[in-house]
Amino acid sequence: MHQTLRLAVILGSVRPGRKAEAVGRWVHRHASRREGITVELVDLVEHRLPVLDEPLPAAYGRYERPHTMAWSETIASYDGYIVVTPEYNRSIPGPLKNAIDYLYQEWHDKAAGFVSYGIDAAGTRAVEHLRVVMGELRVADVRAQVAMSLATDFDGETFTPAPRRDDELDVLLDQLIAWSGALRTVRRGREVR
């Protein structure tokens, strides 16, 4: 029996006036055209995670705070992720790293793709850091990436992606869907043992 893959588009910025919302909605609209997947926006603003406040490390999986339990349930429910991130000071935003660090096993044996934006390097340095962090959490990051420039993919405050971005996102989605499906098999094999 074939089950629909569930993918999350995680908005990695909580800053007022952020561009992540417009970019994330573009990714969501584009990905939602695909058959065989369900795509949902996961907005860190809505989860209101304070600076990590769990008394035990996430690897223990024993959460005490209601916001952590809700976040755990959200992240655990997906087969793969598209993380939309700006680049802040050559890295990822603090709230995104904080949200990732809240959990451990919920991330395991899943796949992730990255859509970034920034001034100088179009967010690529933030993605370099994300790849290392996600690797530690046993998340398979796909090679394809969409890296957008604030100078060419935004018209002032308006998000106006270059036409080639749709093709780049298609390649990312092809890879993410393939890896998410394969890793679901890995997770099921682990559950059977």
**Mind listing the pLDDT tens digit for each residue in 19-59?**
999 999 999 999 999 999 999 999 999 999 999 999 999 99
Span 166-189, pLDDT tens digits: 999 999 999 999 999 999 999 987
Residues 6+ apart with CB under 8 A from 31: 7, 9, 37, 39, 82, 169, 173
pLDDT score at 94: 98
Give residue 146's domain range.
Answer: 5-192
Number of domains, the chain: 1
pLDDT score at 157: 87
The CATH number of the domain holding residue 151 is: 3.40.50.360
Nearest 5 degrees, angle CA 6-CA 91-CA 38? 10
